[in-house]
């Protein structure tokens, strides 16, 4: 059974982010930009709340309080690897899926209005409170997402890691350690080929150099928080970056995240998509808005 366009619009960003998202972001004036969409969902807040209640009833979406999210403790909720230099962590939502709590329109509205009020009154970009509601896909939602997107998992990859502190780095430089994983070594090769080309593209806000380490076969491979394969491949790499074009994008009034996506969308989305065409693509409206 396929997802509707609206259901896909809501759930798909959790594939892109590979994690849960704050519920209030679905009601934000900048939601299209934040969720990296070509078009808005086109629903009023009331209709959107009805949709969220329906998705919970169908069992394709889970809503929960951020304070109830499992802690990342080894062997309990995360896939972890301590091999230097990268660390990969995926939250396990099993307990949330097995013990669902239904949130009606009143509870959803209260959460959204509370967050909006805090956003209006705060003077800094402080983190939102731990009481806020979040949402993620359920395994059933994942199955329907796969059927709807007709995803080619051979083109899917993930990466995660951490930024390093180095006193020798200037303000516009950074050093990071990452771990990339995919179903095949060929996909990892394609990813690095793309990164090298894109990070040296005139529209890119950064110039990067990479040092790639050995590739290992892993079994099983948890591709997302809800999808596991019998095996996959992963490799670690370090990235040194400078940001010579960043200054001209400052003072826009946007968060760094919003600014990052706006740069790609306004200046280079077509060229970016030409270079980077696998399933975890940059603008996520496929199959309803084209890819």
A 10 A CB-CB count for 263 gives: 20
Q: How remote is the C-alpha of 147 from its chain's centroid?
A: 20
3-class state of residue 220 by DSSP:
coil
Per-residue pLDDT of the chain (291 residues; tens, 9 = 90+): 899 999 999 998 888 778 899 999 999 988 887 887 778 899 999 999 999 999 999 999 999 998 888 754 333 333 333 333 344 557 889 999 999 999 999 999 999 998 888 777 765 555 566 678 999 999 999 999 988 888 878 878 777 766 666 667 776 777 777 788 889 998 888 877 777 776 666 656 566 677 777 888 989 888 888 989 999 998 888 777 776 555 544 455 555 555 554 544 444 445 445 444 443 443 445 555 543
The structural domains of the chain, with segments of one domain joined by +, span 5-81+93-149, 153-275
Bridge partner list, 137: 61
Beta pairing class for 133-137 and 207-218: unpaired
Which residue has tokens 């490799």?
Answer: 235
pLDDT value, residue 233: 93
pLDDT value, residue 85: 38
Alpha-carbon distance of 248 to 266, in angstroms, equals 14
């Amino acid at each position: 059974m396929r997802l509707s366009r609206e259901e896909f619009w809501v759930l798909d960003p959790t594939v892109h982010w590979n994690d849960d998202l704050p519920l209030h972001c679905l009601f934000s004036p900048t939601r299209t930009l934040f969720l990296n969409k070509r078009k808005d969902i086109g629903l009023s807040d009331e209709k959107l709340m009805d949709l969220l209640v329906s998705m919970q009833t169908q069992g394709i979406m889970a809503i929960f309080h951020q304070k109830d999210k499992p802690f990342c403790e080894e062997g309990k909720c995360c896939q972890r690897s301590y091999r230097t230099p990268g660390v990969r962590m995926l939250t396990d939502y099993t307990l949330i899926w097995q013990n669902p709590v239904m949130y009606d329109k009143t509870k959803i509205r209260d959460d959204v209005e509370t967050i909006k009020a805090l956003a209006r009154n705060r003077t800094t970009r402080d983190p939102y409170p731990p009481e806020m509601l979040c949402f993620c896909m359920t395994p059933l939602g994942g199955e329907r997402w796969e059927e709807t997107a007709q995803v080619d998992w051979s083109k899917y990859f993930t990466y995660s890691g951490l930024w390093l502190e180095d006193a020798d780095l200037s303000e516009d430089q950074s050093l990071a350690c990452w771990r990339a994983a995919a179903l095949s070594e060929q996909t990892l090769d394609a990813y690095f080929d793309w990164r090298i080309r894109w990070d040296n593209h005139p529209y890119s806000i950064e110039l990067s150099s990479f040092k790639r380490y050995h590739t290992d076969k892993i079994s099983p491979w948890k591709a997302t928080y809800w999808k596991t394969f019998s095996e996959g491949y992963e490799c670690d790499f370090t990235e040194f970056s400078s940001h010579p074009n960043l200054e001209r994008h400052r003072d826009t009034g946007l968060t760094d995240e919003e600014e990052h996506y706006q740069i790609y969308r306004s200046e280079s989305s077509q060229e970016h998509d030409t270079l980077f065409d696998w399933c975890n693509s940059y603008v996520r409206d496929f199959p309803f808005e084209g890819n």
